[in-house]
Amino acid sequence: MLPLRLLLRRFVRRGQLSVIDHTGRRHRFGIDGARPRVAIKIHDKRLYRRLAFYPTLHVGRAYVDGALTIEEGTLADFLNLILINEQVASRTSAGDVRRRFDGAARFAAVVNLPGRSRRNVHHHYDHTADFYRAFLDDDLQYSCAYFYKPEISLEEAQEAKKRHIAAKLHLRPGSRVLDIGCGFGGMALFLARNYGVRVTGITLSTEQLKIAQERAARQGLTKLVEFRLEDYRHTPGTFDRIVSVGMFEHVGRPHYRRFFKRLSQLLTDDGIAVIHTIGRETAPSPINVWMRENIFPGAYLPSLSQLAPVVEKQFYHLTDFENLRLHYALTLNEWNRRFQANRDRIRQLDPSQYDDRFCRMWEFYLQGCEAAFRHSGLTVFQLQLAKQIEAVPITRDYMFAEERRLMAGEAGVPARPRMAGE
């Protein structure tokens, strides 16, 4: 227990953390009475050294295994306390040295060649669609929603996200659109349904591909939307518009230059691309090692200082940039609420796979990510890119007008432009 006590005495500067050891003895750290106030119990004495020397990995492992339990407060309280104090510690010189060491040590983990990319996607995204239906919105949007009003539902916020991105694409009748990392097809189907444009959606997930194709057939959109199991590096042709929502996180830092070069090759000279990605407002750093090991293998979240140089080298104009800040924290909070409400339903899907240990892993992921968006500088970037400086109007009024038009369309006014012959 000694190494862990020494660490926590230095680390806990905000809130109060009580640690109940395997003998039942209580150790207090931080400020008496301060919040968040949490008590945890460590059931295995072998954990003390592991937690002291590699907490970013072993806290999550111990919680999932049941060797660390929350005795007072909630898991969310515990994760918020940890990340609030980690933010304080990261401002020290020791924190900067640790970031640099971690970044060098984990470089190989984000070298995502096509075969490895496919395996990484399979690890997280090839769960049965019924699993995702247990906590996502009706359209199965598995990316940050857009809460233009804090009181709106998750379904409304996800519809708003699609409108927001569609407005930035500045679509025209006849546009050919590529959706890189199309997920369950919601964005592609939204664009085809509202604009009559032709959309090619590509994914590396066989489960997502199957559901997306079924949805296109059910909605009568197969003439406008094609979904393919395909790596963006192998996609043929050119497109007037390219959209990518929640895929860039999986590209891997060593492949940024190639990604934007490929984007340039796929985009017509007068085309527009919109990239929606989780990013960092902080200095470059690898993702949490537990998260990479259990949830998102191969993932890396870019800082602006890493995006800007590779964008510049491809002669793009960054025609619009938006930082969505707390929108993902709100999204994750709702996902977790629905996940908790449907734990029994999830377990019944396949008790051998979706057992209590799996559910603890996913609640640690969902609540840990929410805490990171609130306290650790995670955010969502939306980049609008064009090769020609006049590709979009010089003010953002066209975006706001288009979002209002789409909202009116949902109320009964047709939003889709008229097709030839109509």
Give the residue numbers marked as catalytic. Answer: 369
Under a CB-based contact definition with an 8 Å cutoff, are residues 177 and 200 in contact? yes
Under a CB-based contact definition with an 8 Å cutoff, are residues 370 and 76 in contact? yes
Instruction: Please count the other Cβ atoms lying within 10 Å of the Cβ belonging to residue 394.
Output: 9
* Whole-number Å distance between alpha carbons of 422 and 407: 23
CB-based burial, 101-125: b 16+ in 10 Å, e otherwise: ebeeebeebbebeeeebbebbeebb
Q: Which residues pair with 280 in a beta bridge?
A: 303, 378
Burial group, residue 92, by CB count within 10 angstroms (0-12, 13-18, 19+):
exposed
Pairing of strands 198-203, 225-229: parallel
Question: For the chain, how big is the Rg over CA atoms in Å?
Answer: 23
Under a CB-based contact definition with an 8 Å cutoff, are residues 160 and 118 in contact? no
Which of 218, 270, 204 lies closest to 239, judged by CA?
270
| Backbone conformation region of residue 415, classed left if phi is above 0, alpha if psi is from -120 to 50, else beta | alpha
Q: Using alpha carbons only, what angle is made at residue 344 by residues 343 and 347, rounded to the nearest 5 degrees? A: 85
